[in-house]
Structure 1
Amino acid sequence: MAERYLTVAREGVHESEIKRSRFLCTLAPAATEEAAQDVIARVRKDHPTATHNCFAYVIGPDGRLHKASDDGEPGGTAGTPMLQVLLRREIRDVVAVVTRYYGGVQLGAGGLVRAYGGAVSAALDDLGVIERRRLALVAVAVDHQRAGKLENDLRTAGRAVRGVSYGSDVTIDLGIPEEELPQFRAWLADATAGSATAVATGTAYVDV
């Protein structure tokens, strides 16, 4: 299982023009194939008069599920170069749809490959990517008196604080690299004079 991967920071659209053809690349997060197909269907609905709506998606931290479509462009000139960009840049849980409005000038096979792949690459550069790491999920229980300072110290130290809940004690939910758990437990005991407890509750991919 992958320890980390990159994904798109947000959904967005990047537009470029090549020899009078307009290329609009929609990038969106997609954690499942169903989510990817929903984005593709939405883009097709939004651009019913487009010449082509080509797509590629990569699902899962290991990128094992991926698919591409040329949507009427010559075979291998659109969806495949789009997919290759996503795989080469190690982007996961993402769908890319490139909408083309034909401008009247033929680009040729090589031109199409460069146009579609370039549209995805430019959109990634424009919208940005984020890293996700597989972390151990830890629930820290601490008394109200120490909670504020502890939360601040955790955030200052760059720990991935995922949430804080209040009850008889305060519970701070964290994501921590598994190899750092022993060191973290020792630090927590020292920081709270042994009054806080830390319980591992599983693992998850967390934005870092």
Structure 2
Amino acid sequence: MNHYNTIEKPSVAEYKDRGSRFIAYAYPVATADDFKKHLKALKEEHPKAAHHCFAYRIGTDGNNFRAGDDGEPSGSAGKPILGQIDSKGVTNVAVIVVRYFGGTLLGVPGLINAYKMVTSLALQLTPIIQKPILETYVLSFDYTLMNEVMMVVKRFGCVILQNEAQLFCRMVLGIPMENLESTINKLHDLHGLEFSKLQGK
């Protein structure tokens, strides 16, 4: 598996049921911290909302996900939101649903349906795109090698995640899985360049 699917840009959708308003915000995210920033911003934007329920899935190993009901009956909000993210086959995605209570209790089946519907609507409103899975490497080299390193970066579609360019340079590089072997071979050819895989990525 060399690629993963995610959403291109944020989207918003609304769903109403018996007076309650459900507003779903879908975001592309790379880390749990990205998600936390969005949640904090929405809580500030909607301070009077009854609930801020959410789910996210990050990464390609399937292990980094969370679902939160924020006071709704257990399993009636976060799980249906996550279920919609998974049914679209996307990752690096967070969906936060803001609910304004309309005075009528919807019951667990009604809540599950509402959270599922509004999440599905939000995910339909943003294009799904394919991105390469990246392996992260740290490169250390003398500034005189910069042009040659950049040629390798461009040729193999690598992504520069960090770059500290002084007389001696340190670059954190995301290398697409499908080009990993060829990129590593090319980097080996550059004399004076040191590189290693970034652990924990």
TM tier, smaller: 0.5 to 0.7
Q: Post-superposition shift, 1:40?
A: 4.2
Aligned residues between the structures = 197
Contact persistence 2:4–2:90 (CA under 8 A): yes
Normalising to structure 1: TM-score of the pair?
Answer: 0.63
Q: Post-superposition shift, 1:81?
A: 0.9
Q: Match for residue 83 of structure 1? A: 82
Q: Match for residue 16 of structure 1? A: 14
Q: Match for residue 114 of structure 1? A: 113
Q: Match for residue 182 of structure 2? A: 183
Q: Match for residue 139 of structure 2? A: 139
CA distance in structure 2 between the aligned counterparts of 1:4 and 1:200, rounded to whole angstroms: 22
Give the 3 Å change call, closer, same or farther, for CA 79–147 of structure 1 in structure 2: closer
Where in structure 2 are the equivalents of 1:140-159 lying within 5 Å?
141=141, 144=144, 147-148=146-147, 150-159=149-158
Q: Relative to structure 2, which stretch is displaced further, 78-87 or 120-129?
A: 120-129
CA distance in structure 2 between the aligned counterparts of 1:40 and 1:67, rounded to whole angstroms: 13
CA distance in structure 1 between the aligned counterparts of 2:48 and 2:167, rounded to whole angstroms: 59
Q: Post-superposition shift, 1:200?
A: 1.1
Where in structure 2 are the equivalents of 1:1-208 lying within 5 Å?
12=10, 14-18=12-16, 21-28=20-27, 29=29, 31-32=31-32, 39-40=38-39, 42-58=41-57, 61-63=61-63, 65-69=65-69, 71-72=71-72, 76-92=75-91, 94-102=93-101, 112-127=111-126, 131=131, 133-139=133-139, 141=141, 144=144, 147-148=146-147, 150-176=149-175, 183-188=182-187, 194-203=190-199, 205=201
SS in 1 for 2:114: helix
Q: Relative to structure 2, which stretch is displaced further, 89-98 or 116-125?
A: 89-98
Q: Percent identity?
A: 25
Q: Which runs of 5+ in 2 are unaligned?
A: none
Contact persistence 1:7–1:132 (CA under 8 A): no
Q: Which runs of 5+ in 1 are unaligned?
A: none
Contact persistence 1:139–1:199 (CA under 8 A): yes
Contact persistence 2:142–2:169 (CA under 8 A): yes
Query: RMSD across aligned C-alpha pairs, in angstroms?
Result: 4.2
Q: Relative to structure 2, which stretch is displaced further, 87-96 or 154-163?
A: 87-96
Give the 3 Å change call, closer, same or farther, for CA 141–69 of structure 1 in structure 2: same
Q: Relative to structure 2, which stretch is displaced further, 135-144 or 85-94?
A: 85-94
Per-residue CA deviation, residues 159-187 of structure 1 (Å, 9 max, x unaligned), is: 22334443335554422357865533433
Contact persistence 2:2–2:178 (CA under 8 A): no
Contact persistence 1:69–1:79 (CA under 8 A): yes
Give the 3 Å change call, closer, same or farther, for CA 43–135 of structure 1 in structure 2: same
Normalising to structure 2: TM-score of the pair?
Answer: 0.65
Q: Relative to structure 2, which stretch is displaced further, 98-107 or 48-57?
A: 98-107
In the alignment, residue 184 of structure 1 is paired with which amino acid?
T
